[in-house]
Amino acid sequence: MTNILEATSFGATSTTDDVLSGVNLQGKRIFVTGVSAGLGVETARSLAVHGAQVVGAARDLNKAKAATEQVRKDAAADGGSFELVELDLAKLKSVRACADGLLAKREAFDVVIANAGVMATPFGHTADGFETQLGTNHLGHFVLVNRIAALIRSGGRLINLSSLGHRYSNVDLEDPNFDRTPYEPFAAYGRSKTANILFAVAFDRRHRDRGVRAAAVHPGVIHTELARHVDASQIEKIIEQRNQQLAAEGKAPFRWKTIPQGAATSVWAGVVAPAEEIGGRYCEDCHVANLVPDNVPIDAMSEGVLGYALDENNAEALWKKSEELVGESF
C-alpha cells in the first residue's frame, strides 16, 4: 500500500479524494460490503476510480445496481473495475453462499472492508435467531470474513466499520440475544459496534504473522440510511450532549460529515496508513484514536475508544462465543 502523504495531514474534514490523492490502486483487488447506499457506494467509487478492482456485496442487488451505476462507469474510465455479488448478512445461508462463490473464483483480495450494517433497529431476530444488530453487524461478517480469510493476500488488510456507538455498551456474552435483558436499541447497537472492534483485534492477532492486519474505524456522524430507525429528537439530544462536551473542551461545535468525509477513514486505514500503525487499533478522523478510561461517561466523550473494545481477553472471549453461536470454528 502506498502512503503518499504523512498520516497526520488528514483529519475530520478530509474526503476520500483527499486521502487517495496521487494514489494508484491498479492491480489491487478490494472487497466492500454494503454497496447499495451511503458509505459503501462512496468507498467503492473512490477505490475503483483510483484503479482498484472492486467487488461490492449487497443484499438487494437491484438497489445496489442502480446505486452503483455511475461507479461502474467511472471505474471503467479510470482503469478500475466494479462488480456486484449477493450477500444478506442477516442470513448465514446467504453469507456462506457468498463466501463459497468467492472461494470458488480463487481470486485474492488486498483489502476487505466490512462496511454494511444496521443501527438502533426495533427488537427482532435474524433468520438464524440472533438479535438483529449483533447478527447483522457482527456475526454475519464474522462468518464471511473468516471463511474468505485465506483469500486475503500477505500485506492485506481487514477494515471493520465500527462507530462511536461502541461507547453505549460492552458485549454481553452471557445474554447476547437479549433473552433475559430488557431490549434497548442503542445498547444493542453498542454491543454490535464493540464486537466489530473486538473482531478486528482478534483477527489481527491471528493473521499478522502472515502479514495481514486488521483495524476498526469510526466513520463519523453522517446523514445516511443507517439512521432510519432513530427518532430525530433522539439525534438532536445526542448532538446537544456532544456540543456541551466539545464546548467544555474548548472545541468547535459538532458538524455533520459528508459521505465522502465519512468514507475517508475506511479508505485511509485500508490503503494509505502504515499497516503497523493501524493493526489491531480503532481509528477515527483518519488517525488512530486515543484510549479513554472506561469510567468516563458517554456524554463526556467527544472522541476516543474505550478500553474494553480493545481488550485482547475480551476479544478472545467474543471469538469463542461467536464460534459457538454460528456453529463453526475458525
Alpha helices, DSSP H only, in the chain?
A: 16-19, 38-48, 61-67, 69-77, 92-105, 132-133, 140-147, 185-207, 232-248, 259-267, 275-278, 312-326
- Chain centroid to Cα 11, Å, comes to 18
Rounded Cα distance between 126 and 90, Å, is 5
Q: For the chain, how many residues are written?
A: 330
Rounded Cα distance between 185 and 220, Å, is 19
Q: Give phi and psi for 32, each to the nearest 5.
A: -130, 125
Dig out the grid coordinates for 226 from the structure.
443507517
Nearest in space to 114 (alpha carbons), one of 163, 80, 66, 73: 163
Q: Annotated catalytic sites, by residue?
A: 162, 189, 193
Rounded Cα distance between 79 and 76, Å, is 6
Nearest in space to 134 (alpha carbons), one of 167, 83, 172, 101: 172
